[in-house]
Structure 1
């Protein structure tokens, strides 16, 4: 099996509109969660989120493009462009045919759906734009990234709620490792911060009105975010031959299903995914130095995840660092694992562990080193990135420092 490395990264999210700004914010423990700005805000009980403020599509796209690009597609294109520029790749000929896109998203073009439901039901109009279907479909972002960059290989979208990005990146990893592809653009994008999207999430009663405080005893729910992160996954020999800068190596992946409950997480399912990624990567417990937690800030997730980590790592769990960057950028749902992978790369390359901000009170059921409130300098060689979704779907990636 071939080795898989990361040679490019790009992002846009509430913390920054590129990777450098985002990582700087993570190092500083900056909070990107703020008051939302949107139509009919007064009808919402939840009025905060990790929103990309002052983003004006018309500054970047023409009218014809905006007619085709939902907000989640725009975010994916922005992140993909940065990632490809960093990689230095140009997709022509044989390489184009052996390169593709796997993107994670849960809601797809939810903003487009929301706007057009208003048009039909609220305004009473009988016609909508003829491109609404290609604009709102979940595969739109992956398709537009492939068209923009001439990626002619396997291209599709994964929709597994909050694990979508990790599932997508895991599939990209498998495709390169197996020899199916040489390069894959992968990651996730989400833009659920619209009235209908937030109103639906309000119904679950898992949202916080003031802050995201993962692992803190006084946490009171998750906070939604938006944005995208994309990565260039590449066959190591291909990257080495062209002298590419390598950000990290992807060494393992596992996915499991709880087969138990549509919303309540399972310690056993999460533990099997964590252990599976370590087994796939041929790791021992003491090889892992940092875990980027799913860490939503809900009581059910945080306790279950900590219990799963304790089960897998045993006494070594006390030596692990585990943090949730959702406390800073919010929960990007289908795009969240991709943005969180940036923190994993920062830990490996820069020796900086992103903090869990908003941490105020220790929880006896989350008695791990959650890197509270301030980033930490620490040398780690192997990291894990957890994602656990509604539907009981779990996906864990393992990465190693490239030397």
Structure 2
């Protein structure tokens, strides 16, 4: 690695809350955060923002007349970015933003499209408030960033791809700091129906409807959730939450529109690349992508078994807060940061592991999406 890269701050909002102390308590508990949502004549589980987080979003929308026209995903990203820079001094011209979303301004797009179909009329704000660049551009406007402003969509690995891009900018000396992450508000009728049509959505009616990392499940159990998460990356170790010691990525040739190989060759390559860059063969823990689907969870597990001689401690967070698509990788980064901060391992209820008391000092985070585009990020506890 040319220059060390660090995560200096973080902000998020999900079904777990929007303040670090409450989020940590949720990870230390065995509770889930799903509720029933109406879909046509039936209902499905989803992980919505809490009442207090929803109030924060509403307050942001009320701050400015222009903000009232924005999608929920954009407002969540604005909060996460404000949180991430709240204790940082940054040069606006030397700070970049790279955010993303799998679906974009989902609810707002569906609303405008419905208006057009029913009334053949459209608001003039339809295009500017539903364009893909909405997240990064409004965040830049809100917090006053004047550097490169990038938004992309690489399905469920979107946020971790933003970290790859930020690394290149930072190591090239083209920016001093980069805000990276993703935001997703997918609990809409059309988006939920899409997941149901793929036969991926959970039909379980239990306290744990998403069986992420349960390897012997007999049906798919994906459940969607809302969330936004943004990290500040830089070459400065000052007050660093973690050092990013390994970056890995790979894209494999897929044989089906929604599947990867049975042993996730893309993950084997991305994890090995991250380990090689860090000069490590082992890590203390892995936060898996594990969406709760039968094939997806098993494929990633097989990739881990082929990559590591000794299995690290394995966990996920989708069983607790749902799959947040483009934001999911960065919310997994948050889980890893909290494990590094506390030294604790946050268990997954479906995966048995040998109890260990050693402190967590290194965590790998995986993400992949439709298209076989895997990313693996290795975080280590920074030196005092």
TM, length-normalised to structure 2: 0.91
| TM-superposition CA deviations, 1:306-365 (whole Å, max 9, x none) | 100010112x12xx10101111010000110111111111121211222213x2xx7xxx
Aligned counterpart in structure 1 of residue 96 of structure 2, from 100, 122, 140: 100
Q: Would the aligned equivalents of 2:210 and 2:322 in 1 still touch at CA under 8 Å?
A: yes
Aligned to 1:47: 44
**Cα–Cα, structure 1 residues 143 and 42, in superposed 2: closer, same or farther, change >3 Å?**
closer
SS of 2:119's partner is: coil
Q: Which residue of structure 1 lines up, in the alignment, with residue 169 of structure 2?
A: 175
The SS at the match of 2:231 is: strand
Deviation digits for residues 100-147 of structure 1, max 9, x if unmatched?
A: 1111211110111111122122xx212222111121122211111111
What is the RMSD computed on CA atoms of the aligned residues? Answer: 1.9
C-alpha separation in 1, matches of 2:354 and 2:303: 15
Flag structure 1 segments of 5+ consecutive residues without an equivalent: 363-367
Counting only pairs closer than 5 Å after superposition, residues 218-229 of structure 1 correspond to structure 2 as 218=217, 220-229=220-229
The answer to whether the 8 A contact 2:177-2:232 is kept is: yes
Match of 1:294 in 2: 289
Mapped partners of 1:249, 1:291: distance in 2:
16
Q: How many residues align?
A: 369
In structure 2, distance between residues paired with 1:344 and 1:81: 21
Whether the 8 Å CA contact 1:103–1:165 is kept in 2: the answer is yes
5+ unaligned residues in a row in structure 2: which ranges? none
TM-superposed deviation, 1:378: 4.2
User: 1:313 maps to what in 2?
Assistant: 308
Distance 1:3 1:305 in 2: 28
Moved more, 191-200 or 124-133: 124-133
- Would the aligned equivalents of 1:215 and 1:370 in 2 still touch at CA under 8 Å? no
1:184 deviates by 0.7
Query: How far apart are the structure 2 equivalents of 1:369 and 1:48?
Result: 28
CA distance in 1, matches of 2:231, 2:109: 28
Displacement of 1:199 in angstroms is 1.2
Deviations 1:225-283 (A, max 9, x none): 111011111212xx53xxxx211111121211111232111221210111111112222
Report the equivalent of 2:18.
Answer: 17
Q: SS of the counterpart of 1:184?
A: strand
Instruction: Provide the residue aligned with 1:341 in structure 2.
Output: 333
Q: 2:61·2:68 contact (CA, 8 Å) conserved in 1?
A: no
Partner of 1:2: 3
Query: CA separation of 1:42/1:270 partners in 2, compared to 1, >3 Å: closer, same or farther?
Result: closer
What secondary structure sits across from 1:31 in the alignment? Answer: coil
Partner SS state of residue 61, structure 1: helix
CA shift for structure 1 position 46 = 5.2
**Secondary structure at 1:162's aligned position in 2?**
coil
Structure 1 residue 45, shift from structure 2 partner: 4.9
- Please tell me whether the aligned partners of residues 16 and 50 of structure 2 are also in contact (alpha carbons under 8 angstroms): no
Checking the alignment, whether the CA contact within 8 Å between 2:157 and 2:375 is kept in structure 1 is: yes
2:74 corresponding residue in structure 1: 73
- Cα displacement (A) at 1:370: 9.1
Secondary structure of 1:35's partner?
strand
Q: 1:194 aligns with which of 176, 188, 199?
A: 188
- Mapped contact 2:36–2:43 kept (Cα < 8 A): no
* TM-score, with structure 1 as normaliser: 0.87
